[in-house]
Amino acid sequence: MASATTTKTGQPFDREVLDSLLKRTGFYMPSFEIYGGEKGLFDYGPPLTALQSNFVDLWRKHFVLREKMLEVDTTIITPEPVFITSGHVAKFADFMSKDPKTGEIFRTDHLIKQVLGARLKADQDARGQTIEVEKPDEAQKKKKIKDVKIEKLDDAVAQEYHETLAKLDNYDGDGFNELIKKFEIKGPTSGVDLDPPKPFNLMFQTYIGPSADKPNGYLRPETAQGQFLNFQKLLEFNKQKMPFASASIGKSFRNEISPRQGLLRVREFLMAEIEHYVDPESGKKHDKFDDVKDVELTLLNRHTQLAGSEKTEVMTIGDAVAKKVVDNETLGYFIVRIQDFLLKLGIDKTKLRFRQHMANEMAHYAADCWDAELYGSYGWIECVGCADRSAYDLTVHMRKTGAPLVVRENLSEPKKFQEYQIDLNKKKLGPKFRKDAKAVEAAVEGLSQDLREKLSLELKDSGKITIDTPGLGSGKTELDKDLVTIEQREVIQHVREYTPNVIEPSFGIGRILYHLLEHVFWTRQNTDPKDAEPSARNVLSLPPLIAPIKVLLVPLSSHPDFKPFLRSLTTMLDELDITNSIDDSSASIGKRYSRNDELGTPFGITVDFQTVKDKTITLRERDSTKQVRASQEDICQAIEALVKGRETWGKVQSRLPEFTSQEVD
């Protein structure tokens, strides 16, 4: 909803200025633009590609290396059965509404939100108040939308609109249909009745192999399933030690009904996901929790939201876990690590909050979930999810395939207890169920003790039992006493077997990068007295660690004496793996620097006539525009220290001689 935001220097933020800067300087462009473009697909140009690869590098160091995670690279193409089991085929859908006259297709919830939002806005205008509504993006603006009359609403109606918008996530197709009828929502350009909402699965379909005559696979919508399917191998690789985490960085895909908001809602995106496996009986403690317990976080918990407020609370993670605001230490530890990472990246701390999912937002299996939300011109946007997925995924895949996606732990002291055990007559089971026998067996194994007790009575009474076997025939399977016996026996357990729970931090890289660009963008007033009219110049204050290009090399002019210095400097920097570029165009030094301030290049080196004399060069810092002058070696060394975060610019400035000549414009 909200959209007013300011730059780091307190200026009002103007999205159109940043967007035109990003497109002009090649940060990103609509894919296939010369073919008319394709909605929801964007290409990253050189600056954003470099920024993204620095993001990935930092992410790997911050998470995979430091936490000794097991990174895997699993395939994007996934056969259908996997997503049937995970529930994606049945449930990973949005509702769409078709306008029968124009053929336009709308995402139903977005349409309702837009229409009710516009009516509320009109109501407020009529009352002479202002209200912030989501700013339409370029694509939406181009569509001609029927004007909403400036019209006052009944108080009760306005109240109902507000309440509906607050719980829009809870509706299904029928619910949406009722809302559309009740609120008389029509095709926005045609004014006619819309077709009833239909679910549209968001996974891209494909055909695997030469003999497929209908789609038999999908492009994954998340990397998680590929990690879960390899759980056994990963546990083995980790020498059976728990807890541990796997991680994956890769492209995922969602066939959005109506992509919008530029880089925020796209059909193809890079994500980085961690699946951290814990023993559910450990209380989900984390052995490094003590190191982070005093870190403060800005939290928006579910109770506050239920009360209709967005008031955040600053709290240490130690307190949050102690007070059960955050469910457990492991979840808390990862929330802190996510915050650390985002701040290292250059995210503005005042534009970061952690919002807890409300019960109705979470998947039914999730135990707790906190999103890192970043604030920008589209309001608060979820950029990192951190969910406790409980044992859901491993359980369903194990049940379906029979693969033991479990941990076996030797008990120091054997446990004795009574247990209902089910014996299957496998000689008869095989011939009767053939290829389904394994699934029946897995279903039986998955039965709880309570159910087993009930079934043992059923078997005694009727000579047969009926069990749930989802996906097999009618979903129910009957087993008679020839096939099955149930008995209570004493068990002595030497090995404990359990399905681990999963804590999943999941990063949408494009969304984070876009917000980062909003957070580091500002404009500098040009105060050069020689300029007729002072102009504003754009700056992206990206931290040196992740800036696409670290150093711009600028010769004063095209004088041939400067060339050997440029060559030796670029070699020196290349050997330190410090990205650099040369701008030897005829533009003034000031213009060249300001072009690179726009690209977020933190440092600039000038080669001038004094360089030819005494081999010194100047080093300019982007944000302060201050300069120092020293030998090539000293400057390159300083840059290395700055880029690797071993030294600050303040420190460099204090130990190297200042250079005060004006930037020549």
Q: Check residue 576 for interaction with its own copies (CB under 8 A).
A: no
Q: For the CB of residue 321, give the shortest distance to its own copies in the complex, in Å.
A: 24
Q: Check residue 560 for interaction with its own copies (CB under 8 A).
A: no
Q: What are phi and psi of 623, to 5 degrees?
A: -75, -40
- Looking at residue 193, its amino acid is D
Q: Check residue 44 for interaction with its own copies (CB under 8 A).
A: yes
- Per-residue string for binding with its own copies, 175-204, x by CB under 8 A? -------------------------x---x
Q: For the CB of residue 398, give the shortest distance to its own copies in the complex, in Å.
A: 9
Q: Check residue 586 for interaction with its own copies (CB under 8 A).
A: no
Both tokens assigned to 479: 């087993």
How would you label 136-145 residue by residue, b for 16+ Cβ within 10 Å and e otherwise?
A: ebebeeeeee
Q: Check residue 209 for interaction with its own copies (CB under 8 A).
A: yes
Helix residue spans in 78-207 (DSSP H): 80-86, 88-91, 108-126, 138-142, 155-166, 173-182
Q: Cα–Cα distance between 199 and 213 in angstroms, integer?
A: 24
Burial of 533 (0-12, 13-18, 19+ CB in 10 A): exposed
Burial of 443 (0-12, 13-18, 19+ CB in 10 A): buried
Give, as one character, the DSSP assignment of residue 12: B
Which one of 177-185, 228-236, 380-388, 555-563 is the stretch in contact with its own copies (CB under 8 A)? 228-236
Q: For the CB of residue 38, give the shortest distance to its own copies in the complex, in Å.
A: 5
Q: Check residue 585 for interaction with its own copies (CB under 8 A).
A: yes
Q: For the CB of residue 364, give the shortest distance to its own copies in the complex, in Å.
A: 24
Whether the ω angle into residue 555 lies within 30 degrees of 0, i.e. cis, is no
Of 35, 149, 461, 527, which lies in the binding site for its own copies, with binding defined by CB under 8 A? 35
Q: Cα–Cα distance between 269 and 43 in angstroms, integer?
A: 10
DSSP collapsed to 3 states, 176-192: HHHHHHHCCCCCCCCCC
Q: For the CB of residue 45, give the shortest distance to its own copies in the complex, in Å.
A: 6
Q: Check residue 564 for interaction with its own copies (CB under 8 A).
A: no
Q: Check residue 46 for interaction with its own copies (CB under 8 A).
A: yes
Count the neighbouring beta carbons within 10 Å of the beta carbon of residue 594: 21
- Per-residue string for binding with its own copies, 257-276, x by CB under 8 A? x---------xx--------
Of 126, 143, 237, 417, which lies in the binding site for its own copies, with binding defined by CB under 8 A? 237
Both tokens assigned to 524: 């500098």
Q: For the CB of residue 81, give the shortest distance to its own copies in the complex, in Å.
A: 6
Considering only residues 104 to 143 of the shown chain, the ones binding its own copies according to CB under 8 A are 105
Q: Check residue 568 for interaction with its own copies (CB under 8 A).
A: no
Q: Check residue 207 for interaction with its own copies (CB under 8 A).
A: yes
Q: Check residue 579 for interaction with its own copies (CB under 8 A).
A: yes
Q: Cα–Cα distance between 211 and 225 in angstroms, integer?
A: 25
Q: Check residue 25 for interaction with its own copies (CB under 8 A).
A: yes
Residues 387 and 503: beta-carbon distance below 8 Å: yes
Considering only residues 316 to 345 of the shown chain, the ones binding its own copies according to CB under 8 A are none
Residue 421 contacts by C-beta under 8 Å, 6 or more apart in sequence?
452, 486, 487, 488, 489, 491
Residues 345 and 329: beta-carbon distance below 8 Å: no
Of 15, 22, 55, 78, which lies in the binding site for its own copies, with binding defined by CB under 8 A? 78
Determine which helix (DSSP H) or strand (DSSP E) holds 356, and give its type and residue range: strand 352-356
Pairing assessment for the beta strands 368-376 and 352-356 based on DSSP bridges: antiparallel
Helix residue spans in 346-446 (DSSP H): 392-401, 426-433, 437-445
Of 229, 245, 503, 520, which lies in the binding site for its own copies, with binding defined by CB under 8 A? 229
Q: Cα–Cα distance between 553 and 584 in angstroms, integer?
A: 8
Number of residues that bind its own copies (CB under 8 A): 79
Of 7, 8, 15, 50, which lies in the binding site for its own copies, with binding defined by CB under 8 A? 50
CB nearer its own copies, residue 249 or residue 342: 249
Q: Check residue 3 for interaction with its own copies (CB under 8 A).
A: no
Q: Check residue 637 for interaction with its own copies (CB under 8 A).
A: no
The label of the residue with tokens 């379909």 reads: 205
Of 10, 103, 128, 475, which lies in the binding site for its own copies, with binding defined by CB under 8 A? 103
Residues 506 and 384: beta-carbon distance below 8 Å: yes
Q: For the CB of residue 237, give the shortest distance to its own copies in the complex, in Å.
A: 4
Q: For the CB of residue 586, give the shortest distance to its own copies in the complex, in Å.
A: 11
Considering only residues 368 to 397 of the shown chain, the ones binding its own copies according to CB under 8 A are 397
Of 108, 114, 255, 523, which lies in the binding site for its own copies, with binding defined by CB under 8 A? 255
Q: Cα–Cα distance between 297 and 314 in angstroms, integer?
A: 5
Rounded to 10°, the helix 509-520/15-24 angle is 110
Of 48, 122, 292, 444, which lies in the binding site for its own copies, with binding defined by CB under 8 A? 48
Q: Check residue 279 for interaction with its own copies (CB under 8 A).
A: no
Q: For the CB of residue 51, give the shortest distance to its own copies in the complex, in Å.
A: 10
Both tokens assigned to 208: 């695997």
Q: For the CB of residue 501, give the shortest distance to its own copies in the complex, in Å.
A: 20
CB nearer its own copies, residue 115 or residue 405: 405
Q: What are phi and psi of 237, to 5 degrees?
A: -60, -35
CB nearer its own copies, residue 95 or residue 370: 95
- Per-residue string for binding with its own copies, 415-444, x by CB under 8 A? ------------------------------
